[in-house]
């Protein structure tokens, strides 16, 4: 039997969705989706309450990222009877937004167990996008993949992004893009794509897919400063998590602590949540003292606290932070 999300965590997530700003709502919805993918679930009464809350928000919220993550959350635990109409209305209201349409397709596919032909609202969605979106949470054996051939040189960036999401979620079938090449080879090649979002998702795939490794990365870390902030964020997270050579890793972390984008520095701090090595404190403690973004500081404070037993300077710094900035703990509930 899958584990239940704790009552305290459930209450926190509900509070964030009801009362937080757009960023906090999105983060809470991402957290629920992540927990469900890891095998956790909400108690029945809590699930019903979240379903009703998110149904209302998916039609009323102005932030498209919040709407998209509402749909992603409903794809995890929403019921066909309780959510179908809301998902369809959200898709109709955002028919010009392919990301929201894809999230709605994925949610409907999950609720209908892959029977896409039974969903009248999907008849107008491009067949390639429909199948790729459905693959995010539906067994590929239940879908018609006979026409699933993607030419990475001519495919629309939205198609490539959806395919990369499928790979990153570990829902891919091998040779998804091309029967002649493994997915890892294609992911590496897409690291040089002209579209920033495609490059971002190519790095994210390397972070998330169990069969890929840093050897499948298509962007050298020497290009870090030349990438846009969204790509920098994923590169820095990957570097902190997976570069084995300590000298190389330290160099990238040091450079990353100075990039101008808060989004990129958040990616780096997130990547450090589960990593420490001797000498890392030479970067992180000084970085914390000059960091201006509160979310980055919260992530760094969590890193310092987690590894305080391994590093005496961390222990001292964590105590100082807890006394001087106790509110930072509210930014580190992931």
Residue 197 backbone dihedrals phi, psi, to 5 degrees: -70, -40
Q: What sign results for the dihedral spanned by CA atoms 74, 78, 80, 84?
A: negative
**Is pLDDT at 9 greater than 90 in this prediction?**
yes
**Is pLDDT at 273 greater than 70 in this prediction?**
yes
Q: How many CA atoms lie within 13 A of 305 on its CB side?
A: 15
Of 71, 78, 77, 113, nearest to 94 by C-alpha is: 71
CB neighbour class for 322 (10 Å; exposed up to 12, middle 13-18, buried from 19) = middle
88 vs 105: CA distance, rounded Å: 9
114 vs 37: CA distance, rounded Å: 18
Average pLDDT, the chain: 92
Q: Tens digits of per-residue pLDDT, 276-319?
A: 999 999 999 999 999 999 999 999 999 999 999 999 999 999 99
255 vs 224: CA distance, rounded Å: 9
DSSP, res 141: G
Q: Tens digits of per-residue pLDDT, 127-182?
A: 888 888 998 888 888 888 777 788 888 999 989 999 999 899 888 787 778 777 88
Q: Tens digits of per-residue pLDDT, 194-214?
A: 999 999 999 999 999 999 999
Q: Tens digits of per-residue pLDDT, 227-248?
A: 999 999 999 999 999 999 999 9
Instruction: Please answer whether residues 148 and 176 qualify as being in contact, where contact means their C-beta atoms are separated by less than 8 angstroms.
Output: yes
Rounded to 10°, the helix 98-111/80-93 angle is: 160
Give the global pTM: 0.83
- Domains of the chain in start order, with CATH, are 1-139 (1.25.10.10)
Of 138, 139, 143, nearest to 110 by C-alpha is: 138
* DSSP-H helix ranges across the chain: 7-19, 22-37, 44-60, 64-77, 80-93, 98-111, 127-134, 157-168, 183-190, 196-208, 229-242, 246-256, 262-271, 281-290, 294-306, 312-324
Residue 138, C-beta contacts closer than 8 angstroms, at least 6 positions apart: 106, 109, 110, 113, 114
DSSP, res 4: B
69 vs 82: CA distance, rounded Å: 17
113 vs 115: CA distance, rounded Å: 6
């Amino acid at each position: 039997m899958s584990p239940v999300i704790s009552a305290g965590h459930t209450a926190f997530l509900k509070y964030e969705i009801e009362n937080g700003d757009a960023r906090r709502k999105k983060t809470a919805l991402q957290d629920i989706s992540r927990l469900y993918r890891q095998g956790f679930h909400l108690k029945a009464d809590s699930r019903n309450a979240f379903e009703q809350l998110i149904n209302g928000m998916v039609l009323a919220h102005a932030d498209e990222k919040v709407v998209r993550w509402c749909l992603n959350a409903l794809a995890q635990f929403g019921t066909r009877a309780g959510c179908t109409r809301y998902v369809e209305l959200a898709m109709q209201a955002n028919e010009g937004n392919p990301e929201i349409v894809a999230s709605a397709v994925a949610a409907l596919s999950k609720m209908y167990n892959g029977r896409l032909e039974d969903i009248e609202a999907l008849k107008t969605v491009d067949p390639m996008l429909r199948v790729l979106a459905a693959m995010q949470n539906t067994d590929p054996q239940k879908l018609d993949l006979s026409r699933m051939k993607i030419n990475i040189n001519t495919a629309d960036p939205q198609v490539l992004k959806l395919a990369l999401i499928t790979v990153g979620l570990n829902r891919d079938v091998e040779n998804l893009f091309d029967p002649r090449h493994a997915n890892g080879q294609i992911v590496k090649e897409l690291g040089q794509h002209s579209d920033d979002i495609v490059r971002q998702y190519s790095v994210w795939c390397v972070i998330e897919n169990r069969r890929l490794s840093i050897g499948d990365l298509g962007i050298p870390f020497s290009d870090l400063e030349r990438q846009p902030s969204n790509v920098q964020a994923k590169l820095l997270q990957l570097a902190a998590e997976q570069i084995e050579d300590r000298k190389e890793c330290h160099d990238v972390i040091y450079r990353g602590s100075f990039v101008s984008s808060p989004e990129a520095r958040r990616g780096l701090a997130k990547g450090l949540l589960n990593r420490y090595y001797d000498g890392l404190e030479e970067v992180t403690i000084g970085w914390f003292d000059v960091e201006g973004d509160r979310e980055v500081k919260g992530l760094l404070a969590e890193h310092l606290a987690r590894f305080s037993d391994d590093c005496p300077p961390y222990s001292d710094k964590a105590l100082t932070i807890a006394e001087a900035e106790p509110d930072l703990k509210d930014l580190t509930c992931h």
